[in-house]
Amino acid sequence: MVYRATTLLDEYFTREGVKHRLEATENQSRIVCGVKGRDDRIAQVLFISSGDTLDLSVRVFNFNNLKCDGASRSACLRACNRLNNRFRFAKFLVDLDDTINIEYDVPQETNEESLGPMCKEIFFRLMSIMDEAYKEFDELALG
């Protein structure tokens, strides 16, 4: 099912020339924007909606395909903490699969006119944040 927030965002990103694709399942719809990182790795920024409100979750799963297991786990967690202290709205975490995820806080008070411009700004801010994060995790030599 395609929800209202992702429909509006799809229309806005199309008008603005932001490369993306719309995906839908029975429970959610999402806008997927791919970002090429270092070593030609792709990070996908997802704008996810699971209801008829204008509420969206912004997520990057498996950031840069990095694994944080064994001896590197504590170094990964320290890097996530440093990044969480540096960036106010983005949250870095190591999930149960030992991969790094990023969550971005979206303002709750959103209307149809502000949704597209707000998400475009979040997307570009997140790209800048991810660029800084690549540097932080490159030093750990993860892969």
Quote the pLDDT of residue 81. 94
Using one digit for the tens of pLDDT, what is the confidence trace for 42-84?
A: 678 999 999 888 889 999 999 878 788 787 888 899 999 999 9
Task: Evaluate whether 64 touches 42 at the Cβ level (below 8 Å).
Answer: no
CA distances for 101 relative to 2, 25, 30, 65, 140, angstroms: 24, 21, 17, 10, 16
Q: Report phi then psi at 30, rounded to 5.
A: -150, 150
Q: Which of 22, 70, 30, 67 is closest to 50 using CA atoms?
A: 30
> Does 143 reside within a domain?
no
Q: Rounded mean pLDDT of the chain? A: 88
Selected residue with higher pLDDT from 37 and 31: 31
Both structure tokens of 17: 């020339």
* CATH code, 52: 3.30.1460.70
* Number of domains making up the chain: 1
Domain that holds residue 43: 4-138
Quote the pLDDT of residue 42. 67
Q: Percentage of the chain with pLDDT > 70?
A: 92
> Does 15 reside within a domain?
yes
Q: Please give the distance of CA 95 from its chain centroid, rounded to a whole number.
A: 14
pTM for this prediction = 0.89
Contacts (Cβ under 8 Å, ≥6 apart) of 90: 83, 84, 102, 103, 104, 105, 126, 129
Using one digit for the tens of pLDDT, what is the confidence trace for 115-130?
A: 999 999 999 999 889 9
> Does 44 reside within a domain?
yes
